[in-house]
Amino acid sequence: MDFGLYEQVSIPSGPLLDHLVFDVGGRVYSQDDTLAMQVNNYAQLALRGILTDGSDADLTKAEVIISSRNENVMSVNESGKLTSHQSGITQIHGVVTLHGVIKETSFFADVYDPTEWLVDLALEHPTLVCESGQPAFLDRDSPFPILHVRTAEAVTLQVTLLNVTGDQVICAHPATKFAAGEASVLTFPGEVKEPGQYRINIEIEVEAGFSYFDAFYFTVQNPLISTEGQSRIVHIGENGKLVYVPDFKGNQIIDFSNCGYGGGGVAIPDIAPVISLQPVEGDNTTHIQSAIDRVADLPRSSSGYRGSVLLCKGVYAISGSLQIMTSGIVLRGEGQEEGGTLLYATGTKQRNLIDIRGEASPSLLPDTLTSISDLYVPSGARIIHVQDASGYRVGDTVKVIRYGNERWIHAIGMDAIRLRPVAGGTIQWSPFQLEFDRVITHMVGNCITLDAPIANAIESRWGGGALMKYEDKGRIEQIGIEDIRVVVSYDPSIGDTRIDGNEGTETYMADEQHAITCIHLDLVKNAWVRKVVGFHFQHALVQVGRDTKWITIQDCSVFAFISVITGGRRYPFHLMGELTLVQRAYTETARHAFVVDARVAGPNVFLDCESQKDYNSSEPHHRWSVGCLYDNVNGRIHIQDRGWLGSGHGWSGANYVTWNTTHELVSQQPPTAQNYAIGHIGSRGKPLLPSPYDQRQRKDAYWESFGSHVSPRSLYTQQLVDRLIQPTLT
């Protein structure tokens, strides 16, 4: 045996480096703290090391690195001097290596420019709740709120207090000039006497001649009208229609009635067949596709349809995909029950069985872009002001763009998601925008009314918004799939035991080499899927893609998924578009039964739906989708901060409503928005966060009437009745 003498690495004795502390001006900043600093300013930063015995470390013997994530916003030099340069968010990061031990810490810096904000407006009242997503009630005989004004530049303000319900001007202040940097208070004489919804309208004219707009809201309840058995914030009023109670900035429960075929409440037509097929021996893919193609060559009727392809009763083996790429075609069977029309998806190719797809997304017209001149557009609003509406007309198709800048990302905490504790990384969010697909229905000057509400507040300090026209030559419409039963072939010998990455106790069938989705719609509008039942898919019965709107999915069921039970599988009704209605749908063995994808603009609706034998929850799945209604849905529903899941899902949904739901419910409030849980019967589930790993508190959503359903039974149905008087609900 050989022996040798080797150099031994020195092992330090005594206390070691335990953690780091940033100190700015005598205040300690940790990883979740934010230092606010005006542009062109300075501060001295100190970095301290704390040893395991609690004493200060001597960092003169350590390797110390301090850096700024964005030096254009704030820089830091070797001596720790912080210099703020321009408006924005950055992160100051420190790393220390001492005796072989490496520790790091960080904090955020919010650099602001006071000239960025035209005017700072705030409402004050001793009893009025001025919080996002909380109803702004005021008692009768109370004094009116006080309006605080602080200007960044010279402006002229026109302020008017209205009783909107009574269509009455309570007080109109004369146009008042304010100098740059001036602070003042505006009062409204007297006391609140009449019930109703009140609004303080504020028009802000700048010296360049442009006007900007803002508003505040409060509601005085009518003591003669009982809301017993109803919600306090949306209930039947004297005229038999719903009354909505907004928060102090006008955010309210959204009107979801524009969801569905034809813009909601429009009957799905019965289109006469122009071709009838019987099944043939062997594969029927070409047999059916040829019929679809022949109908595609026919002219469209005045109602927009070419005709339907009728698949008579029998079994149609399909090894490929059926494609509908032309408007006005319906694919119809003779029943979803056994003995009806059965599509049998054969083979091992992963695919969509029925692919409905247009040619191209809407083409934005950048030359028509005009900025929104409201300092705040509340969630649920249909009316916006723009700087220049001269190029717009009633009937124009438009995108309402809601920008979300890095300061907003920071405000909702999505630049500070905890690192994923298992394999895989966490991706912090970057700024993004939501685009709402709308039609102009009314115009007065630069004030524009839209066909459907905006499902996320648009706020100037978070990036503001804009309006832009688009041309829509590439999407197809007037498409239907109905009265069909679909079964997928699979290999029953392939099994697995894992459930979402965890080892299970039982083996289940997990073959994935087969058709994964029954019906996929993309670049489509005004279409439907009804009376379709499916078995053994991997992903979805129906997936609604982006750039797809005005879709109805009804009276559909899906059973017995065949796949590994893990991410990306078993999303029976998967929404990525907007203004979709899913009603009377049923599913078993799903992971996310009724699910909305990331950054979906909304609104969307699930009505009278049920899921059983769930492996996970129905939910907004990740990264801030907005404006969905779960109305009389029976199944597990989770609306929450999903944190590091899936590489950083974070706040998954905002401005969601659960109405008269049953089973298990989680609903939390995301910063800058709200979610509403009204009339839930069942259990309150445990949210993912806070947890021992991430102890930061999350607020509950607005919960009301937990343990008891409310009236009306269905929010969506009542909203349809209010808008259309006699809508078609079937």
Tokens read off for 397: 């198709």
| Mean pLDDT confidence for 106-131 | 95
| pLDDT score, position 678 | 99
CA-based nearest residue to 108, from 410, 418, 426, 463: 410
CATH code for position 81: 2.60.40.1080
Looking at the structure, tell me whether residues 378 and 419 fall in a common domain.
yes
Looking at the structure, tell me whether residues 400 and 465 fall in a common domain.
yes
Give me the torsion for CA of 714, 715, 717, 721, rounded to 10°.
130
| pLDDT score, position 20 | 96
Residues 6+ apart with CB under 8 A from 134: 247, 674, 702
Looking at the structure, tell me whether residues 664 and 562 fall in a common domain.
no
| pLDDT score, position 728 | 66
Asked if 221 and 244 touch (Cβ cutoff 8 Å), the reply is no
Task: Note whether residue 709 is domain-resident.
Answer: yes
The answer, yes or no, to whether the previous bond of 603 is cis (omega within 30 of 0) is yes
Give the pTM.
0.96
Looking at the structure, tell me whether residues 710 and 631 fall in a common domain.
yes
Q: How many domains does the chain have?
A: 5
| Mean pLDDT confidence for 687-694 | 97
Task: Note whether residue 286 is domain-resident.
Answer: yes
Distance CA(135)–CA(133), nearest Å, equals 7
- DSSP string over 208-246: TS-EEEEEEEEEE--TTS--TTB-SSEEE-TTSSEEE--
Q: How confident is the model at residue 11 (pLDDT cuts 50, 70, 90)?
A: low
Task: Note whether residue 232 is domain-resident.
Answer: yes
User: At 426, is the secondary structure helix, strand, or coil?
Assistant: coil
CATH code for position 232: 2.60.40.2550
Task: Note whether residue 604 is domain-resident.
Answer: no
Q: Is the pLDDT of residue 550 over 70?
A: yes
Distance CA(393)–CA(471), nearest Å, equals 14
Looking at the structure, tell me whether residues 641 and 710 fall in a common domain.
yes
To which residue do tokens 């809201």 refer? 217
Looking at the structure, tell me whether residues 560 and 623 fall in a common domain.
no
**Per-residue pLDDT tens for 496-519?**
999 998 888 899 999 999 999 999
Asked if 544 and 565 touch (Cβ cutoff 8 Å), the reply is no
| Mean pLDDT confidence for 470-478 | 98
| Mean pLDDT confidence for 431-447 | 98
Q: Write down which residue in 98, 114, 130 finishes a domain.
A: 114
Q: Would you say how long the chain is, in residues? A: 730
Looking at the structure, tell me whether residues 627 and 559 fall in a common domain.
no
CA-based nearest residue to 572, from 536, 525, 624, 548: 536
Task: Note whether residue 612 is domain-resident.
Answer: no
Looking at the structure, tell me whether residues 432 and 514 fall in a common domain.
no
Looking at the structure, tell me whether residues 353 and 376 fall in a common domain.
no
Asked if 182 and 151 touch (Cβ cutoff 8 Å), the reply is yes
| pLDDT score, position 515 | 98
Task: Note whether residue 140 is domain-resident.
Answer: yes
Q: Is the pLDDT of residue 370 over 70?
A: yes
Task: Note whether residue 581 is domain-resident.
Answer: yes
User: At 252, is the secondary structure helix, strand, or coil?
Assistant: coil
Cα end-to-end span (Å), the chain: 88
CATH code for position 555: 2.160.20.10
| Mean pLDDT confidence for 420-437 | 92
Residue 71's domain comprises 17-114
| pLDDT score, position 726 | 67
Task: Note whether residue 105 is domain-resident.
Answer: yes
| pLDDT score, position 7 | 46
Q: Number of H helices and number of E strands within the chain?
A: 4, 60
| pLDDT score, position 12 | 67
| Mean pLDDT confidence for 590-610 | 98
Distance CA(554)–CA(606), nearest Å, equals 10
Looking at the structure, tell me whether residues 282 and 346 fall in a common domain.
yes
Q: How confident is the model at residue 693 (pLDDT cuts 50, 70, 90)?
A: very high
Q: How confident is the model at residue 10 (pLDDT cuts 50, 70, 90)?
A: low
CA geometry: angle 571, 517, 569, nearest 5 deg: 35
Looking at the structure, tell me whether residues 239 and 284 fall in a common domain.
no
Q: What number of other Cβ atoms are within 10 A of residue 224's Cβ? A: 7
User: At 143, is the secondary structure helix, strand, or coil?
Assistant: strand
| pLDDT score, position 226 | 87
Q: How confident is the model at residue 723 (pLDDT cuts 50, 70, 90)?
A: very high
| pLDDT score, position 625 | 98
**Torsions phi, psi for 683 (to 5 deg):** -105, 155
**Per-residue pLDDT tens for 45-90?**
999 999 999 999 999 999 999 999 999 999 999 999 999 999 999 9
Asked if 249 and 730 touch (Cβ cutoff 8 Å), the reply is no
Looking at the structure, tell me whether residues 345 and 485 fall in a common domain.
yes
Distance CA(303)–CA(450), nearest Å, equals 24
Give the distance from CA 492 to its chain's centroid. 38
To which residue do tokens 């005085």 refer? 220
- What is the overall mean pLDDT for the chain? 96
Distance CA(629)–CA(254), nearest Å, equals 9
Cα 692 to Cα 109, 425, 625, 699, distances in angstroms:
26, 19, 27, 17
